[in-house]
Amino acid sequence: MAATDLNIDHVARLARLALTPEEKAAFARQLGDVLHHIEQLGKVDVSQVEPTAHAFPVVNVWDADEPRPGLPVEVALQNAPRQRDHMFAVPKVVE
């Protein structure tokens, strides 16, 4: 769990965040401090411990298989930055 492993360019790409060089430098330093703090978790013996995803696990939540009205197309598109023919418009994805 070495804090120096944080490759900010790689992680920013994974997170789809176009960071400025200034942001990259600042975040790398600040998160270095946080990760250094986090390293102490390595001291805990968790070899016999199951992970907790939710405090009160709820399993098998079934719902009746009945159609219900959803958002009308116009409402679903009301916050779209750009739309065309009842669809979200984006730059060309496939050449």
Partner 1 sequence: MADALPHRTIADAAARLAAGTLSSVELTRAVIARTQAVEDRVKAFNSRDESDALVQAAASDARRAAGQALGPLDGIPVGLKDVIAVNGQPLTASSRMLANFVSPYDATVTARLKKAGAVLWGRLNLDEFAMGSSTENSAFGPTRNPWDLTRVPGGSSGGSAAALAAGCALATLGSDTGGSIRQPAALCGVVGLKPSYGLVSRYGLIAFASSLDQIGPFARTVEDAAIMLGAIAGHDPLDSTSFRAEVPDYRRALTEKKGPWRIGIPREYFGEGLDPEVGAAVEQAIAHYRAQGCEIREVSLPHTQYCLDTYYIIATAEASSNLARYDGVRYGHRAEGVTDIEQLNSRSRAEGFGAEVKRRIILGTYVLSSGYYDAFYLRAQKVRTLIRQDFLNAYRDVDVLLTPTSPVPAFKLGEKSDPLAMYLCDIYTIGVNLAGLPAISVPCGFTRAGLPVGLQLIGQPFREADLLAVARHYEQAHDWHTRVPAL
List contacts with partner 1 (CB under 8 A).
1, 5-6, 8, 10-20, 23, 26-27, 30-31, 33-35, 37-38, 40-42, 44, 46, 49-56, 58, 61, 63, 71, 75-76, 78-82, 88, 90-93
Min separation Cβ 9 and partner 1, Å:
11
Q: CA torsion, points 54, 60, 66, 72, in degrees to nearest 10?
A: 20
Closest separation in Å from C-beta 93 to partner 1: 5
- Find the shortest distance in angstroms from Cβ 14 to partner 1: 5
Nearer Cβ to partner 1 (67/91): 91
Return the structure tokens found at 26. Answer: 């600042």
The Cα-based distances of 12 to 19, 20, 21, 85, 94 in angstroms read 7, 10, 11, 34, 24
Spatial CA neighbour of 1 closest among 37, 25, 27: 37
